[in-house]
Chain A
Amino acid sequence: MPEMSLKDSIITSLSAQEPWPDNVKLFQPYEVEQILLPDNASCLAVQAFLKMCNLPFEVEMRWNAEFMSPSGRVPFIKCGAFVVSELEPIVQFAANKGVSLCSKLSTEERAEMRAYMSLITNVLVNAELYISWVDQDTYNTVTRIRNSSVYPWPLGWIQTRSKRNAVIKRLKALHWYDKTLEQVLADVEQCCNSLSQRLGDKDYFFGTPTELDALVFGHVFTIITTRLPCRKLADTVRRHVSLVALAKRVDEQYFKRA
């Protein structure tokens, strides 16, 4: 597609001229009252990625972050004149500025890394969405209350309904909605198995930290630290000791607010 590559190359050349500014802001929903499991995981993944790259940023919490984001999904960063949302485009954006974590990787390793990132976004993210929005218990006691906490009545009720419909539509399209909780957990189990097989006893997936480690950290850490009525997801992930160890390692190295 020539138009696409032209647009890409303009953005590349424009953004490459400027170095990473100091006043970069990362927008996300309120962590204590509002944020939901899937959003929290992706926000944490982006934060971990930026910290791994040593890029300075400030976290800014907004109740309407979701509606400010260009793609409708959180988190997003504002960097000079650019607004970029979600992990993959942000990684691309940083790479355009000459900051990359996978420059030492061979092309095959890079292909492998992209495949494992897909594994996470396809399995773990959908499982998180399933637990938060489809599992009745979790939806009634956690998701519904947190999601509507920032809106006045009856807007909260309407917004939660429409968001739930959107999530269910997505899960239906991907054939996740017809699964039972057991099938979802079996998929998660298989995904974690694949990840821990690949990780083996190394510190990071490819020796040094990459965006894959950031993504794994974001999801594993969020799943095991979020308290939900349905404990099964956390229990499934917690059984994979090497992944939990990786999450702790990243947390200690990059997030210890000493």
Chain B
Amino acid sequence: MNNIELDIWRGEWGLASIDIECLKVLTYMKFIGVPVRVREVSNPFFTPKGTLPVLRDGRKALTNFEEVVTYLKSLDYSTDVHLNTKQAAEASAFTQHIREKLYPAYQFAWWVDEKNYADLTRPTYAKALQIPFNFYYPSKYQKAAKEMIDALYGEHTDLREIEKTVYSEAEKCLKTLSDRLGESEYFFGNRPSSFDATVFAYLAPLYKAPFPNGTLASHVKGIANLTRFVARINQKNFRHVTDEYNKQNATKQSTGTQSDREAANFPNQTRNKILAAIFAGIAMTGYAVANGMFQDLKEFEHTQDYSDMFENEADDN
């Protein structure tokens, strides 16, 4: 039990991870209080399903939230023991409700909205990934998200129309959640459950990420009791992450010059320059070979021989 490892996407903006699934698992582990070694992975290529998070315990590897909850339950770690059967039923109903109404909007805001994708999502994931995976994964995820939106809302042809529908559904869902939460500390009594982890994972990124087009985020920020809910869980479980982020931000603002900030935004600049130079060299040589430049050199030598011959002839005459 002591050697549980969790591979996740890296964090940003004072969040422990940028990815919703990773955040779910991480929050749940915090709720339980199991010691876990968290690793920020820079490419999901070698994981069992090509996705993150991955939770490893010995030889077992689990790749999604439901599996993790079930597995930890089999080890007698669970946050849901205080729920009676009726509450458990309600939790699963609400989980489906969020999945149906809020998840499409979440995916839309991150991946389908062009402005958000170009200015926020793509750079963030590219930063979290390693060369050459950063050229592959963001567009793969965008494609998946677009396919989902198309399959669910394909009857509308206009993207603006879809955006309106998706966001208004999400708004209703958020209202429903807010009604259900009321003024209590957690959704079911005064102890956290796996459902609280799910809701937190959905909402926290919408609070923290600086969306260029923040329609969905502003819906979330407009609801007071959900705002307090997220702040509360963040304060209790992820204080160190937020503190570190704030500290970094403060030092950056006080001492950072333009070039320092640039260096922070683009790490490994020297390495990239060298890589670029090597790449350019290889490309140019390849081009030269393909065009038969070295053959020309050989022919050139021949022609010199010929001209020598002619010169000799001229001398003879």
Contacts and interface: CB of A to CB of B under 8 A. Distances in A.
Given A112-B90, A170-B151, A173-B147, A119 B97 contact: yes
A122 B92 contact: no
B96 A119 contact: yes
B151 A118 contact: no
A192 B97 CA distance: 16
A122 B180 CA distance: 20
A4 to B, nearest CB: 5
B86 interface: yes
B224 to A, nearest CB: 15
B164 A4 contact: yes
A111 B179 contact: yes
B158 to A, nearest CB: 13
A236 B297 CA distance: 79
Nearest to B154: A166
A3 interface: yes
Interface residues of B, number: 31
Contacts of B100: 118, 121-122
A198 interface: yes
- Interface of A (DSSP majority class): helix
A116 interface: yes
A198 B90 contact: yes
B148 interface: yes
Contact of A198 (B86, B99, B151, B182): B86
B96 A123 contact: yes
B177 interface: yes
A227 interface: no
Given A111-B179, A112-B180, A119 B93 contact: yes
B101 interface: yes
A111 B99 contact: no
B93 A116 contact: yes
Given A111-B176, A122-B100, A174 B148 contact: yes
Interface string B157-192: 000000010011001100011011010000000000
Contacts of B176: 110-111, 114-115
A54 interface: no
B85 interface: yes
Contacts of A195: 89
A108 B225 CA distance: 14
Nearest to A112: B90
A115 B94 contact: yes
Interface string A224-257: 0000000000000000000000000000000000
A197 interface: yes
Contacts of B167: 1
In the complex, which range does the number of interface residues on chain A fall in?
A: 20 to 34
A140 interface: no
A33 B146 CA distance: 36
A66 to B, nearest CB: 11
B152 interface: yes
Interface in A183-242: 190-191, 193-195, 197-198, 200
A193 B89 contact: yes
Nearest to A117: B97
A108 B94 CA distance: 12
B69 interface: no
Interface in B198-223: 215
Contact of B155 (A1, A71, A110, A119): A71
B32 interface: no
B97 A118 contact: yes
A107 interface: yes
A72 B172 CA distance: 23
A163 interface: no
A170 B149 CA distance: 9
A118 B101 contact: yes
A115 B93 contact: yes
Given A1-B167, A194-B89, A198-B86, A169 B96 contact: no
Given A115-B93, A119-B92, A173 B155 contact: no
A121 B85 CA distance: 22
Given A4-B164, A119-B97, A121-B100, A173 B90 contact: no
A179 interface: no
Contacts of A173: 147-148, 150-152
A115 B151 contact: no
Nearest to A73: B155
Interface in B83-109: 85-86, 88-90, 92-94, 96-97, 99-101
B233 to A, nearest CB: 20
Given A1-B167, A172-B151, A173-B148, A118 B96 contact: yes
Contacts of A166: 151, 154
Given A71-B155, A119-B97, A193-B89, 13 more contacts: A111-B176, A112-B90, A114-B176, A115-B93, A116-B93, A121-B100, A122-B96, A169-B150, A169-B151, A172-B151, A174-B148, A195-B89, A197-B86
Q: Which 7 A-B pairs have the closest CB atoms?
A: A194-B89, A118-B97, A173-B151, A173-B148, A197-B89, A115-B93, A115-B97
15 contacts: A1-B167, A1-B215, A108-B179, A110-B176, A115-B94, A116-B93, A122-B99, A123-B96, A166-B151, A166-B154, A170-B151, A172-B151, A173-B147, A197-B89, A198-B93
